[in-house]
Structure 1
């Protein structure tokens, strides 16, 4: 039995794993889908979340609560890959494998914001269409907040996902932040922590947000042990291709636990 911990991307929540969770559980595994701070059903507001560590706190608290002998398989989607990196660096002894589902991957050389800079260079503010992007003007911990718009969702994230799941997203997404300013001040992740864990990358070949070529570029620049691919998966692969995502995760469970 493997304990999967599923981590969502910006503006989303644990709800986006609703197709994956029961399939993994029916195969005999334990599944915890996390709501990061100010996400999903987490009661905090994004204005109250000042740092990336604050944002990641629900994941960190889960890792701290694990029995000493228990190891988990972390799965991070999209920007949630950076939340994974923070947990990996802090709890390498509690992680069997880290799975990046078309996720942003960091390295142990640059600041944690480095991959965000590259991502935003390819996805400037005007490419987010009708999304609401603003600054909270906090004098101590300034951050840019984002609320994904309907045109952005259907054009860049959900273009191969069902109309029902798109409607669900439009009802449940909340404002989020990349916390780029805060991450630019943080130390790089360590080889002893982050770099010591088995990393598996699942490429989603029709992702228009974190594009296939950018996914492969991250793979080449990081310590990825194994690469899997899903054809015809958009950015929201857990919704557009849930069976394929589950097959990948079950294969990983057999190999790394």
Structure 2
């Protein structure tokens, strides 16, 4: 645990890039120059951005150029005596252009624009859901492997389950990926599709995550929905360790019982 200074100012930028790999290189550049002041670094596919622009009234792309991928960056600043976060972010993006990591970019001119940039990010899940039935996964992979996972896992899922469309967006800075597999176009009965395909798609996606060295849970944990998959994928030693920790802190099993792992005597 650590205490951090209150935020005195922030800069929010939107950058068009060619690929998740370039987004990762941009992250490394920004981190090297701005350090801990990098508060947010989100990577978004252009198709997913299009879903937001078509679904959420009043939204528009922050940049003029159509690019395959997009990055949303927030830089926070606590010391008013140092250069402003906008100046520091602008310098970092200038270097990114020189290294051909950025195709186009914009820095919010005021708080209203900054909020508009973030509104796009915060509307992604809602806009994805509006495209039709889908299975959505909150997963994590090592940051260095995230770019390849975002491309390869989507292509593999679409090949394995014909007609589906897979996409992802996420917090590149910590490897958290929101991975979605949408039902074939024209699917009218979402629950029936999930009942028929859900278990197989779940296993396929989770196997890909584990193969990439990641975790099937990220922001939202295991809960009840992933409990069976945890049992399938985790080693007996890991399950035993989880049970031991649970029993040590909750010997009577009265705190949120059975939500993560079955305790002795449970099915």
Q: Normalised by the size of structure 1, how large is the TM-score?
A: 0.24
The structure with the larger Rg is: 2
Higher relative contact order (CA 8 A, sep 6+): 1
